[in-house]
Amino acid sequence: MIAISVSAQTGRIGGKIIDKKTGEELIGVSVQIEGTSIGAATDFEGKFLINNVSAGTYNIVVSYISYKKKVLSGIEVKAKETAILNISLEEATKELNEIVIRGEVKKESANAVLIQQRNSVSVASGVSADLIKKTPDRTTADVIKRVSGASIQDNKFAVVRGLGDRYNMAFINGAPLASSESDRKAFSLDLIPAAVLDNMMIVKTATPDMPADFAGGFIQITTKDIPDEDQYTVGLSMGAHSLTTFKEGFSSQNASSTDWLGYDSKRGIPSGVMKTEEGRNATNSQLIDQTKLFDNNFKPTQESSIAPNVSFNMSGSKRFKSEHNEFGVLGAIAYSNNYRYTPFVVNEPPLSDEQRSMDFKTADYKTYNYSNYRRSVNLGGVLNLSMKLGKNNKFSFKNLYTQNGEDQTIKRDGIQYVNHAAPFVNQDNKVFNDYLYQYQQSKMYTGQFTGEHFITASKIKVKYTLGYTAISRSLPDFKRLIYQADKQIGDTVYPRPIVQLNPDANAFTPNQTGRFSSQLQETSPSAKYEVSVPFKMFKKSEVKFGGFHQVRTRTFNARNFLFTYDNNNLDPSRYGVAGLQGPDSVFGASNIDSSLFFQRETTQGSDSYTASSRINAGFVMFDNKITNRFRMIWGARIEQFNQRVSSEAIGKKVDINKTVTDVLPSLNIIYELTENQNLRFSYSRTLSRPEFREFAPLAFYEVNYNSIIIGNDTLVRALIDNIDFKWEFFPSAAQTISINPFYKRFTNPVEMIVVPNPSFRNFSYQNASSAENIGVEIETRLLLIGLDKLAGTNIFKDMTLYGNLALINSQVNLTNSGAGLSKRPLQGQSPYVFNMGVNYNNPKLFDIAVNVNRVGRRIAFVGTSENQTIWENPRTVLDISLSKTLFKRLQAKFVVGDVFAQRLVFYHDLNRNGSFDEGTDADAFNYRYGRSFTIGLSYTL
C-alpha cells in the first residue's frame, strides 16, 4: 500500500540529448535536479530517465565535458506522468558559459527534432505518430501521402518524387519487406494498419549502409516502441461512405463465417477434386462428377442496406526497471471492416496492326460498366519487447502480424461495337452480362531481433538485425460467369443473353466462364550488421563497415477450370433453354451432364512457378567532419545478386538463373552556411531489379485490368545515377524551408507496355534504352504566429502550415523503341507531386487539420504508338479532421475524407494536348469515387 501511495504522487523526467552541430547522441551526459543529488546519465542512445520524482516544479542541470552547461527552469512534473526533455548541447568555447533557458521546454524539444533532420547524413522526410492521429489514415498506404514528395497508387503502392513502386524499397524496423504481389515489384502498404505505426521516414539519397535497390525513396517503417511511461489506449470509430453506406448493393454469395476476421474458411477447391495431371487426362464422366463437387451458384447476395464502416484499436505498454537494467513490453491490435462501392467503366480498343491504322474512334471496341462492391477487413497485431542491460547494451524483438481479406462482388455489363456502331444500328454488335467474384486473403508476419552495443573505452558501436518475413496471398475461388447476346444485322433490339462457353478453350482468358484459384507463399530471412569506429582525423571522423544478406524464396501455384461442353454430345435444344437460366441455376446439378455443361481443368505449366533470390552485400562508409562547417560522408557498397525462376511454358521447361555484381559508390557533402542553414550535395549510384514474374516468360490473367500479362526473359536490371542539391533553412524551432533540385539518369529502365492483340488488351514489360529526370522539391513548415503581428490579431498563434511540391521533367530515350514517338516521360513518372496541410492546435479548444494531395498525370501503360499509351489523369484529394480532448484522457475525432470525390480516369490522349478532354479523348478506365465520413473516440489511461 505504501508503494502504491508513493507511486501515485511521483512522476519521471526523461528524454534524449544530442550534439547541436552534428545531431549525434551524447553518451554519459549528466542530468540532475538542481540542488539535489537526484539525477541520471545518458546511455549510448543519448537517452536518460529519472524515476520517482515528486510532483512539482524543478530546474534541471545538464552538463557534459567540453560542452556548455545548460539549465532548464520551470520543469513541471505531474504524478504518474513523464516530463519529456529533448535537449541539444553546444560545444564549449574557451569560456564555459552557463546558459539558462526558462519556460521554453516545448520549444527545446521541437528544436532537437529539427536538429536531427538538419544533421541527417542524407535527404529524408517523415511523418510521426502525432500527425497520423490527426488524419483519417487507416493504413500505412494512407499515411505515406503525408510525406514530402510522396503519394500512393492503386490505394496501396508508394510513389516517391513521382516514381512508381518499382523504384522504391520498404524496410520495417531495420529489416526488408518482401514484395507482397505475385506480378510486380511492390509491397502493398495497405497491409499494415496506421494505428501500429510510430513513425515513417522516406530517405531520398543513398549512403553505403543502405540497400541500393531504389531511386525514388527508401521507406523506413517503424512500429510502436516502448514509451517512457506505462500507457494504455483504446479507440473505436465508425464511418460512412457517400456511395455505399445504407444503400442497396451486393455481397458474396459464398461468404465464410470467418470473413469478418480477414480470412476465408469455406471457399477453395473442394476435397475430392483430381490433381492437375489427372484432371487434364480425365474422361467426361469423371469431369461431370468433379464439377458437382464445386459451389456453382453464381448469383450475388442482395443487400438492402450496406453496413457502416467500423475500426477498433487497442494498445498497452509496461516498463520494468531495476537499478541497472530495463525491460519493456508493448502490445497493440488494430481492426477495421470497410465497405466500398466503386462504379467504373472499362473500354477495350482494338490493337491489331490493321485496326491501328484506322481512326481510333471509328474502330471496333468493347465497353464494360462495372459495379464493384468491395469489403476489406484488416487485422493487425504488434508485440514488441525491449531490454537494456546496463548503459551500453540494448536488445529488441519486434513482431508484426497482419491479415487482410478483400471480398469483391462485381456485376459487369458491356457492349462490343463494330466499326463504332451505336446500339440498335444495323451492325453485328454484342452485349455482355457478367458476374465476377474474387476473395483475396493476405497474411504477413515480420519479426526483427536487434542488438546494439557500445564499447566505452574505444567508443565503438556495434549493431545487428536479424529479420524474417513470411507472406501468404491466395485467391481461393475467383469465379466469372459471362452471358452474351449477338445482335444480327436487321435486329432492332438485343436478344436475351445466353451463357457464353467455348468448347475449344484451353486457358483462362478475359472472355471465358470459369474459375481460378491461386496461392503465393514467400519467405525472406535477412541479416544486417554494422560496426562504427571513431578515429582521429580532421575535427571528427568515423568509419562504418558491415554487411547485408537476404534470401527470398517464393512458390506460386494456380489452377484454372473452364465451363464447357462436348461438341459431339451437346443437345442444342437443352443449351438454348439452360443457357438462359439465371446465375443461381445455370450450372445447377440438373444442367451438369454429358449432353450439356461440365467443367474442364485448363491449368498450364506456366500457371505455377518457383523462384528465389539472394543478396550478399558489403559496405564501407567514412564520415569526416573536416571543419566545423564542412562534413563529408562517402564510401561504396558492393552487391552480388542472384535471381532464379523455374516454370514451364508451351511444353518446355523454363529455368532462368542470373547473377549480377555491382559496385555502387556514393558521396554526401554537408556545408553549414550559418547556424540555421545548410547546403547539401549528394551523388549515388543505385539500381532497380526486375521482379520474379516480370522476367519469367509466362502469361497470367489480371482481373483488375481484364487482361493477360506476359513476362519478358530479356529484362535486365536498371542502373540509376542520382544527383541532389539541397538548401535548407531553419528560421526557428519547429520551422523549416528547403529547396532541393535533383537529377536522375536511368540506364535500361523497366516499363510496363501495351501488347497488340485483336481480341483484348495485353500487357508485358520491356527495357527502355535510357531516361532522364530533372526536378526540384520544395518543402516548408511554418508557424503562422507572425501573421498575428501583421494583422494585430491572435488567431494564428496556434496554426502551422506545412507543404511540399515536387516538379519533375522526365524524358525517355526512344531511339530504339520503334514506336515512332519523339519523346515521352518515363512510365509511372508524374510531372508534379503536391501535398499541403494546415493545422490548428489549441489544447483548450480543438484541433483542426486540413490536408490536400495531388499528383500530376502519368503514363500507366506504355503503348507501341502514341494513341495506345494509357495515361492516368490527376485528381485532388482533400481530407479534413476535427478533434477535441475531453476530460484530459478522452479524445473525439471527426474526419471527412476525399471531400472532392473526383473521378479517376485512365485515358488515351487522342488529341495529344497533354490533358484529358472528355468527349475527345478515349477512356480506358474511368472510376467514380465517393466521400468518407468517420467519427471516433479514443481513451488513454
Q: Check whether 412 has a pLDDT greater than 80.
A: yes
Q: Check whether 309 has a pLDDT greater than 50.
A: yes
Cβ-based neighbour number of residue 563 at 10 Å: 25
* pLDDT of 818: 45
CA torsion 345-346-349-352 (nearest 10°) is -170
* pLDDT of 886: 86
Rounded to whole angstroms, the Cα distance separating 10 from 82 reads 9
Query: C-alpha cell of 20?
Result: 547541436
Q: Check whether 87 has a pLDDT greater than 90.
A: no
Query: C-alpha cell of 476?
Result: 481461393
Rounded to whole angstroms, the Cα distance separating 296 from 307 reads 27
Q: Per-domain residue ranges for the chain?
A: 2-118, 301-940
pTM, full prediction: 0.83
What share of the chain has pLDDT > 90, as a percent? 35
| pLDDT tier at 356, thresholds 50, 70, 90 | very low
List the strands of the sheet with 750-755, edge to edge. Answer: 699-702, 707-710, 762-767, 750-755
pLDDT, tens digit, for every residue of 771-814?
A: 999 999 998 888 888 888 888 888 888 888 888 898 999 998 87
Query: C-alpha cell of 504?
Result: 475449344
CATH number assigned to the domain with residue range 2-118, chosen from the 4 options 2.60.40.1120, 3.40.50.720, 4.10.95.10, 3.20.20.70: 2.60.40.1120
Question: By C-alpha distance, which of 350, 514, 501 is closest to 416?
Answer: 350
| Averaged pLDDT for residues 503-528 | 84
Of 188-197, 617-626, 834-843, least confident by mean pLDDT is: 188-197
Question: By C-alpha distance, which of 221, 219, 204 is closest to 720?
Answer: 204
| pLDDT tier at 931, thresholds 50, 70, 90 | very high
| Averaged pLDDT for residues 389-395 | 89
Rounded to whole angstroms, the Cα distance separating 407 from 441 reads 9
Is pLDDT larger for residue 277 or for residue 640? Answer: 640
| pLDDT tier at 510, thresholds 50, 70, 90 | low
| Averaged pLDDT for residues 465-492 | 84
Is pLDDT larger for residue 241 or for residue 130? Answer: 241
Q: Check whether 910 has a pLDDT greater than 70.
A: yes
Under DSSP, the state recorded for 25 is: B
* pLDDT of 494: 62
* pLDDT of 135: 59
pLDDT, tens digit, for every residue of 648-682?
A: 876 678 888 999 999 999 999 999 898 788 999 99
Rounded to whole angstroms, the Cα distance separating 51 from 62 reads 16
| Averaged pLDDT for residues 816-838 | 76
| Averaged pLDDT for residues 704-710 | 75
pLDDT, tens digit, for every residue of 888-903?
A: 788 888 989 899 999 9
- The average confidence (pLDDT) of the chain is 83
| pLDDT tier at 420, thresholds 50, 70, 90 | very low
| Averaged pLDDT for residues 516-524 | 92
Rounded to whole angstroms, the Cα distance separating 920 from 911 reads 7
For residues 810 and 773, the answer to whether their CB atoms sit within 8 Å is yes
Q: Check whether 433 has a pLDDT greater than 70.
A: yes
Q: Give the fold, CATH level 3, of 301-940.
A: Maltoporin; Chain A (2.40.170)
Rounded to whole angstroms, the Cα distance separating 698 from 712 reads 8
Q: Check whether 697 has a pLDDT greater than 80.
A: no
| pLDDT tier at 20, thresholds 50, 70, 90 | confident
For residues 722 and 686, the answer to whether their CB atoms sit within 8 Å is yes
pLDDT, tens digit, for every residue of 91-147?
A: 775 544 555 544 344 444 444 445 556 667 777 777 776 666 655 566 777 777 777
